[in-house]
Structure 1
Amino acid sequence: MCGIVAYTGHKEAYPIIIKGLKRLEYRGYDSTGVALLNGGLNVYKKKGKVSDLEAHLKDVHLAGNIGIGHTRWATHGAPNDVNAHPHYSSDKKLAIIHNGIIENYSVIKQDLINKGHIFLSETDSEVLIHFIEDIQVHANCSLEEAVRLALQKVVGAYAIVIMSEDNPRRLIAARKGSPLVIGVGKDEYFLASDATPIIEYTKEVIYLDDHHIAVIANNHLSIKSLEDIPIIPYVHTLELELESIEKGGYEHFMLKEIFEQPKSVKDSMRGRINAHKGHILLGGLREYINKLTQAQRIIILGCGTSWHAGLVAEYVFEELARIPVEVEYASEFRYRNPIINEGDVVIAISQSGETADTLAAIELAKSKGAIIFGVCNVVGSSIPRATHAGAYTHAGPEIGVASTKAFTAQVTVLTMMAIVVAKTKGTISDSLYRELLYALEAIPDQIQKTLNNHSQIKYISSIFRDARNFLYLGRGYNFPVALEGALKLKEISYIHAEGYPAAEMKHGPIALIDEEMPVVFIATQDSSYEKVVSNIQEVRARKGRVIAVVTEGDKLIKQMAEFVIEIPATHEALVPLLSVIPLQLLSYYIAVMRGCNVDQPRNLAKSVTVE
C-alpha cells in the first residue's frame, strides 16, 4: 500500500505525478517517491509527505516524459527514505512501485542473496524487482516475459508499475488483489490506484483485472493474461467530476463529507424510490431477488465502518424481512472454515470495493456455492466485479480516511434492500411499507436539520477535547451507532473509546465510570427508550458525564444529561441514519481541537488492500 501514479506521453511527467500523489494522500501513507527517465533512470524518495519530497527536489532537474510515483504505507520495514518506493533492480536499470504484499518474498530473497544480489531495503517490493531482473538475465527474455514469469511464482497481492532505462517509452503494469486504473488520453497514458489522479486529464479509463499485465510502449497499450493470452480491454467513461475531489471551501475533506450527507443519501435513493407511487426498485437485485427472498440465512461481511453498517442491516433485515442474519468480520470469516448452506446469501460491504479481506472472504463464499451481493461505492472496483449482483451506494468520492458519508449511504442502500425483500415476501403490511418509503424520503432533509446543530456540537467538543477515554452506549438499532461513534473518535482524535450495548454496561464497563468519564448515550425514543433511561441514571449515580443524543422534544433525558443533542423523529429502523451524524461531528471537532490530522490520521489507510 498505498498509492500509485505513473505517466507516459508528451507532457512533463513530474508535475502530473506529484499532483496525482497529492490526490492520493487521502489513502494514508508515510513516505513517497518518484522515478524519472531524465538522462538515466533516476529515483528520488523521502520519508514523510509529498510536500517533503517536493522540498527535497526543489533544485533538481526533473524533466522527462515518463515516470512513476508512489506513496507508501509501511508493511515490510520501517517508514524511511530507504524503504520508500520506487525501488531499483540490482543493476539500477529497472525501477518498480508496488502496492500489496509478496508473501513468499523471504524465500525468493534468500535464493537471490545466494546468487549474489545485495538488497538495500527491508521491503518485499525490492525483492520483486530483483527477481524480475534475475529472470530476465538468466532466461534471456524480454522484460515483459520476465514480469509474466515472476508473477506466476510469487504469492500474495500486488499492483505494480515498472519502468526500464533500456526502454524509455515503456511502462509495464500488473495487478492481483490491489486496484490499478489506466487512463487513456491522446497519445498519453496515466496509471493510478484509483481515478482521482486521472480525472482532470481524461475520463476514459480501463480497470485492469486480476492476473492481467498491461504494456504501454510507444503510445500503444496491450493487455495479456499471466498465461500470455491477449485481452481486449473495455474502456469505461468516468462519471467522477473534478469538483467532487476538491475541498470546496471546507477546512477538511472529512467535514465536507459529513455535510454532503443530505446529498449522498438522496443520491443513493435517486431513481430507486418514489413514496407517492409506492415504488422502490434496486435494478442490481432484479435477477437474483428470488434468491434473497428465499434465503434461509443472510451472512453480511465487512470491515470497520462497513461492518457497523452490516450490524444495522442485521436489525433491519430480521425485523422487516424475517430472515436470520449473521454479521461477520471478513478478516475472521475467511480463516475459520465457515459453514455455508444451500440457500444462504452473502452480502459484502466495502466503500472502496477493494478491501483485501472482504475480497478473499467473497471468493471463499463463492467456492462454497453462496450467492454474493455487493454494496460498494466505487464503480468498476474489484468487489462489484467479483459478486453476482449488488447495488452501488452513489455517495461520491470519500477522501477522508475516516468514513462518514459512506456509512450512511451503505445503511440507506441496505435498508432499501431489506424493504424490497420484505415487500416481496409479504412480511410487512402495505401501510408499514408506505410509512417506510415516506420516512426514507424525508431522511436527507432531517440529516440537514441535524447538521444545523453543528455549533452546539462544537461547543460540547470543546468541553471534552482533553478527555482520555470515552464510552458510547446504545441499544437495538443504536448499538451499531455506538460502535461507529467510538470508532470515529479513536480513528481521528486518538482518544481511547469503546462502544457497548447499553445493557452490557453493568457487565464490566461500569467499573470505568467516574467523574472524568464522558459517556455518550444514543437515547432516541424507541422500543428500548425506558431501558436506556435507566442506564443513564446508573451512570449519573457514579458521577459520569452524560452526553445524550435524543429525539427532538425529549424532556425526560434533558433533565438528566449534562448535554443533550436533538435529532428529528423518524421510524425506529431509520434512526441510525440520523443518530450517527452528531457523533461524526463530535469526533471531528474534538480531533481538530487536539491538533490532529483529521483527513490523514496516523497509521491508517483508506483502502486496505493487504491483510
Structure 2
Amino acid sequence: MCGIIGAVLVEGVVSDLLLNGLKRLEYRGYDSVGVATVSGDQIHLKKDKGRIDEVHATLDLSAFPGSIGIGHTRWATHGLPARINAHPHTDCNNTIALVHNGIIENFLHLREVLKKRGHTFTSNTDTEIVAHLIEERLKEGCLFPAAVMRALRHVKGSFALTIVSADHPNTLIGVRKESPLVIGVSENGKFIASDAVAFIDYTRKVVYLHDWQMAVLEPHSLQVYDIKEGMPVDHEVQTIDWTSRQINKAGFKHHMLKEIYEQPYAIADALRTSLKYVEKFVDHIYTAENLFFVACGTSYHASLYASYIFPRIVKINAAAVIASEFSRQYESTLGESDVVIAISQSGETADTLEAVRSAKEEGARVLGVVNAMGSALTRISDSYIGQNSGPEIGVAATKTYTSQLAILSRLAIYAGIKNHNLSIMEGKRLLRKLHRVSYLVNLYIKRFNEEIEKITPDLCDKNSFCFLGRDVNYPTAAEAMLKMLEITYKPALAYPSGESKHGFLSMVEKGYPVIIFTPTDEAYEENLNTIMEMKARQGEVIAITDKQGKEAMRLSDRYIITPKTHPIFTPIVNAIPAQLLAYHTSVNLGLDPDFPRNLAKSVTVK
C-alpha cells in the first residue's frame, strides 16, 4: 500500500500542495518519497529513501516550479527501499513520469520484452515498466490518453496510477484497477489521490474512480473513460463532510476496523506475488527433510496453520515453533537438510531474528514471509516472499494475518505440485478456490460486522472467554483468543475442541461464553459433540459455521454464518468474525482497540 497525490492548478505552484498531501498519506507507506512536476517542457524530479521529513530536510521537496505535479510515499513490495526504487519513475527520455500503488503481476515478462526493444531500466520495481509501455505507444503516434489506455491493456495485476508528461504540461492522467483513487474538483484546479485526506483543505467535492476507469484532469476540465472500451463515461461529483482525522481512517472509527475491511484486497494482493519468486521459495521447501515455521504472536498462529497444511499437501515433516523457544528445542538437531521459515510482519522481531541467525549457524536454510521490504529478515533470508499487505497501523494484527495464511496456502499448493503429491489438475483446482476467498470475504464482511455488533454488548460483562476449533481451525481459535486478550484485557483461553474435556470443561458454567469454529468439514460431527458437552453444562455457545451447518446453528445459543469454501481455507474466512468479535467488545468496553496498553506493533527487543 502506497500513497499517491497529483494536482493540476489553474494558477500557482503545486509543490507545497503535493508535500502537504504526502504528509497526510504517510500512514500508507513511509520507506521512501518522491515528487515530480512539469514546467518549461521538462520534468523536475526529486526522490529518496526515508520518511518524508527526512527527505524534505535534504532535498527540499517544496522547491519545484510548475502548476502540475505528482507525489508518492512508498511501502516497498518490489525492490528494496532505496533511491532508485522510490517513485516517481520515468521512461527512457524522461518525458513521462508516474507513481503507482498496486502490484504488476507480469512485470518480469514485460521487462524482458521491453529490454529486447532497447529500453533501459534504472530500478528493481514493477512500476517502471508502465512508463516504458506508455513510451512505446507514444512512439506509435498515440495521443497521451490513448497511449496510457493501450499500454495498460498489456498489464496484469492491480494499479492506481497517476501520470504526467513533459509534452502535455496541462494534463494529468489517473487510472484505477483494484487500488483506490479519488479525484478532487475545485475552481482552482483538479486533484487526485489515494485518499481524499490528501486534498481535503482544497476541496470537498470528489469523484470516485471505479475499476478500469481513467481520468484525464486539466485545470478547467475532467473527463472519465472506460479503459476497455476507450469511451467516455459519466461521473458523479459527491460532497464529503468528513474531517481530516476521520478521512485518515476512511470514515471508520478506528484503524483496526478499517484494516479488517481492507482484507479482501490484502488477501488478493498477497496472492499476486510473481510465480518466479514463489517457485524459487518452493525449490527450498521441496528439497527439505524437515520444515520449521518460526514466529511470535499472531505470526506464530499463521505458523501453526502451516504446520497442519504442509504435511497434508506436501507430505513433509513440519513443526510450528515459538521463536523465543526455538534454539532451546531444536538447535542441537538442525542440519543442512532442514529449512526454517520465519514469519514476521515487521521483519524486525527480535526473537524471530535470533532464531533464524541460530538456524543459519547450524547450516539450515532460512526463508522469510515478511511484510516490510528491506527489513532485517529480508537480508538474513536465503529467499523471502513479501506479504504485500501495506502498512498496518492498528497494533492488533488483522490483514497481515490473513495475508500470511493466503501466502502459506499458495506455497503449500505449489510445493505439493512440485513433489507430485498433488496433480497439476488438483493444484489448479485448489488455487482457483484459494483465489476465490478474497471475493467471499468481500461478500460477507459487512454482514459479519452487522451481526457481531449486535452480539457484543452482551459479552462485555463476561469475565473470560474460551475459543475452540479442530484441525486447521485450532490456530483460528488461538488467534481469536489473542485478539480478545490484546484489545479487551479479558482473560481468554483457546483449545483444540477435542482437548476441551481435559481441564477446560471445569470452567464451564451457566452463561460461560464458548466460541467454536465449526465449518462443515471432516471434524464437523465431532464439533457438534463438543457443542452438546458445553450446552449440557449451560455454557453460552456462539458457533461460527457455514450455511450448511444447520445442526450447529440449532444447538448453539447464537451463530455467525460464513461462506462455504474449501476446508483448508476456512481459517482465512473465519479469522474475520474472530477479529470483529474482539474489536466490538473492546469498543463497547470504552477501550481504544488501535493502541492497547503495554503492547507495541513490532517487538524489537528480547
Measured against the shorter chain, the TM-score band is 0.5 to 0.7
Question: 1:236/1:416 Cα in 2 relative to 1: closer, same or farther (>3 Å)?
Answer: closer
Deviation at 1:421, TM superposition (A): 0.5
* Greater relative CO (CA pairs within 8 A, separation 6+): 1
Question: 1:378/1:595 Cα in 2 relative to 1: closer, same or farther (>3 Å)?
Answer: same
For 1:120-159, what aligned pairs fall within 5 Å after superposition?
A: none
Say whether the 8 Å CA contact 1:292–1:421 is kept in structure 2: yes
Say whether the 8 Å CA contact 2:520–2:548 is kept in structure 1: no
SS of aligned partner of 1:556 = helix
Deviation at 1:399, TM superposition (A): 0.6
Deviation at 1:284, TM superposition (A): 2.4
Tell me the residue number matched to 2:495. 500
Q: Provide the rounded CA distance (Å) in 1 between the counterparts of 2:287 and 2:75.
A: 40
Alignment partner of 1:302 is 2:295: yes
SS of aligned partner of 1:384 = helix
Say whether the 8 Å CA contact 1:181–1:207 is kept in structure 2: no
SS of aligned partner of 2:500 = helix
SS of aligned partner of 1:558 = helix
Tell me the residue number matched to 1:486. 481
Q: Provide the rounded CA distance (Å) in 1 between the counterparts of 2:126 and 2:393.
A: 17
SS of aligned partner of 2:480 = helix
Alignment partner of 1:578 is 2:448: no
Q: Provide the rounded CA distance (Å) in 2 between the counterparts of 1:207 and 1:428.
A: 37
Q: Provide the rounded CA distance (Å) in 2 between the counterparts of 1:182 and 1:334.
A: 39
Say whether the 8 Å CA contact 1:592–1:598 is kept in structure 2: yes
Alignment partner of 1:188 is 2:183: no
Tell me the residue number matched to 1:334. 327
Tell me the residue number matched to 1:377. 371
1:430 to 424, 427, 447: 424
Relative to structure 2, which stretch is displaced further, 460-469 or 399-408? 460-469
Alignment partner of 1:412 is 2:406: yes
Say whether the 8 Å CA contact 1:183–1:203 is kept in structure 2: no
1:320 to 296, 310, 313: 313
Alignment partner of 1:253 is 2:226: no
Deviation at 1:238, TM superposition (A): 12
For 1:10-49, what aligned pairs fall within 5 Å after superposition?
A: none
For 1:204-219, what aligned pairs fall within 5 Å after superposition?
A: none
SS of aligned partner of 1:526 = coil
SS of aligned partner of 1:334 = helix
Deviation at 1:579, TM superposition (A): 1.0
Alignment partner of 1:521 is 2:516: yes
Q: Provide the rounded CA distance (Å) in 2 between the counterparts of 1:408 and 1:331.
A: 23
Q: Provide the rounded CA distance (Å) in 1 between the counterparts of 2:515 and 2:75.
A: 47
Q: Provide the rounded CA distance (Å) in 1 between the counterparts of 2:564 and 2:477.
A: 18
- Cα deviation, 1:575-599, whole Å, max 9, x if unaligned, reads 1011111111111001000011110
SS of aligned partner of 1:477 = helix
Alignment partner of 1:540 is 2:535: yes
In structure 1, stretches of 5+ residues that fail to align are 1-10, 27-178, 191-198, 209-233, 273-280
Amino acid at match of 1:512: M
Tell me the residue number matched to 1:39. none
Amino acid at match of 1:269: L
Tell me the residue number matched to 2:456. 461
Deviation at 1:426, TM superposition (A): 0.4
Alignment partner of 1:555 is 2:550: yes
Q: Provide the rounded CA distance (Å) in 1 between the counterparts of 2:586 and 2:471.
A: 28
Output the aligned Cα RMSD.
Answer: 3.2
Relative to structure 2, which stretch is displaced further, 393-402 or 262-271? 262-271
Amino acid at match of 1:316: I
Question: 1:369/1:471 Cα in 2 relative to 1: closer, same or farther (>3 Å)?
Answer: same
Amino acid at match of 1:297: N
Deviation at 1:449, TM superposition (A): 2.5
Amino acid at match of 2:346: S
Alignment partner of 1:470 is 2:465: yes
Tell me the residue number matched to 2:445. 451
Say whether the 8 Å CA contact 2:75–2:391 is kept in structure 1: no
Q: Provide the rounded CA distance (Å) in 1 between the counterparts of 2:51 and 2:307.
A: 34
Q: Provide the rounded CA distance (Å) in 2 between the counterparts of 1:202 and 1:417.
A: 30
Q: Provide the rounded CA distance (Å) in 2 between the counterparts of 1:378 and 1:544.
A: 42
SS of aligned partner of 1:452 = helix
Tell me the residue number matched to 1:356. 350
Amino acid at match of 1:573: I
* Count of residues in Structure 1 that have an aligned counterpart in Structure 2: 402
Q: Percent identity?
A: 36
Q: Provide the rounded CA distance (Å) in 1 between the counterparts of 2:546 and 2:56.
A: 56
Say whether the 8 Å CA contact 2:518–2:545 is kept in structure 1: yes
Amino acid at match of 2:299: S
- For normalisation by structure 2, the TM-score amounts to 0.62
